[in-house]
Amino acid sequence: MNIKTLCLGILSFGDASGYEIKKQLEGPFRHFYDASFGSIYPALGKLTGENLVDCTELAQQGRPDKKVYSITPKGRLDLVQQLLERPSQDRIRSDFLVIMLFAELLPAAHIDELVGQRIEDYRSSLDELCSQGKDDTASAAFVHGFGCAVYGAALRYLEDNRHRIVGESLRAQAEVAE
Amino acid sequence: MNIKTLCLGILSFGDASGYEIKKQLEGPFRHFYDASFGSIYPALGKLTGENLVDCTELAQQGRPDKKVYSITPKGRLDLVQQLLERPSQDRIRSDFLVIMLFAELLPAAHIDELVGQRIEDYRSSLDELCSQGKDDTASAAFVHGFGCAVYGAALRYLEDNRHRIVGESLRAQAEVAE
DNA sequence: ACGGACATGTAACACGTTACATGATTAA
DNA sequence: TTAATCATGTAACGTGTTACATGTCCGT
């Protein structure tokens, strides 16, 4: 999923400026994808060049003109085409899991702290996702629910298995000390 | 987590060639990270240049010399340093979820098929992960278990909520047709 | 007085993938 | 004979991040 398609999709919900798109990407769905200004602005420029979006400049006092983008009919067609393509496999990107794989090389106390932090992270992400229950659309609710299900499972797993990895790590280090 | 650190970590388990590292990355943990030859070979070259690994060339008949890499003491230190750094946030990368967010733009039958495929994907990933229960180390078992927990949750969510998104999509399209 | 929100944009950089280049061996 | 496995490596390309550049308004 590239930024261009993402911007096009967001614009299919309504007109927005680059800045506003970024704000939307900082909402609850930031857990699934995000983008920086450095990618959004060039993406909007390219989309405009391809006539997939229109740009209206609004003069503002003391600020750069606000550029409001609207998706064009051609843009809607293109979006649908992009969305019909086979999605790539879902994947978990986790530095944490890589570190865990090499846990035996690290102090047990450090591992314990890491797991504790990750538990906190998942708990707060989950709280945030679950707390704002009502969604604009059924689609958003579906994606939302998916996030809650997965984060909840990760959280429960970490809580239930924390002792295992830390215990094992301590034991391995006791052996080395002998 | 960059490829250099990943290669160093794998070499901490035992000597290997670039080709063998790639094979290991195609094992059960490919769900959490992977790498192509185009990144592994340059990474090993850089690691050798920094004296973090040693390279022994084995002459072979009718093939390029096999280069077997060993982690050096300096490499082990460096690996631990890397692993002690704060891991970035875990994240789900899912084109599928993005498509679902825009489900109302697509034919209900297509959405249903997509969800069906994703269910199959998760089911086979889960089968694969769970079937090979025994792990070399407690760390590997922990990571393994995490994967099972998360994939299981995703699978159950999709199975339980498939009707919601497809039903909603059909209803929305019925409205448009009116 | 200071930081944060608003507002856009570019350039350098990092990091990785894909395709290309080469070529023997072995199993179906 | 065809494809897969073994084995390494480079170059082009894609894609996105970070840092830089600029400047006002508003709340504390």
Contact indicator for B97, B85 with CB cutoff of 8 Å:
no
What span, in angstroms and rounded, lies between the C-alpha atoms of A72 and A75?
A: 5
First CA to last CA across chain B, in angstroms? Answer: 52
pLDDT at residue number A62: 67
Residues of chain A whose pLDDT is less than 50? none
Q: Mean of the pLDDT values across residues B9-29?
A: 95
CB of residue A53 closer than 7 A to nucleic acid strand C?
Answer: no
Higher pLDDT, B67 or A64: B67
Is residue B178 predicted with pLDDT exceeding 70? no
Is residue B133 predicted with pLDDT exceeding 70? no
pLDDT tens-place string over residues A98-149: 999 999 999 999 999 999 999 999 999 999 888 776 677 889 999 999 999 9
pLDDT at residue number A133: 62
Q: Measure CB to CB from residue B142 to each of A6, A146, A161 and give the nearest one.
A: A161
Looking at residue B145, the DSSP 8-state letter turns out to be H
Q: Measure CB to CB from residue A142 to each of B29, B100, B146 and give the nearest one.
A: B100
Is residue B18 predicted with pLDDT exceeding 90? yes
Distance B10 CA to D3 C1' (A): 30
pLDDT tens-place string over residues B89-100: 999 999 999 999
Q: Is B98 in Cβ contact with A90 (below 8 Å)?
A: no
| Structure-token match 């982690």, residue found | B71
CA distances from A61 to A21, A66, A69, B49 (A): 21, 10, 20, 55
Q: Mean of the pLDDT values across residues B71-87?
A: 96
pLDDT at residue number A178: 65
Contact indicator for A149, A122 with CB cutoff of 8 Å:
no
Is residue B63 predicted with pLDDT exceeding 70? yes
Q: What is the mean pLDDT of chain B?
A: 91
What span, in angstroms and rounded, lies between the C-alpha atoms of A73 and A54?
A: 10
Band of residue B36 on the pLDDT scale cut at 50, 70, 90: very high
pLDDT at residue number B169: 67
Show the tokens assigned to A58. Answer: 């609004």
Contact indicator for A40, A3 with CB cutoff of 8 Å:
yes
Strand C close residues, chain B 75-134, CB < 7 angstroms: none
pLDDT at residue number A58: 87
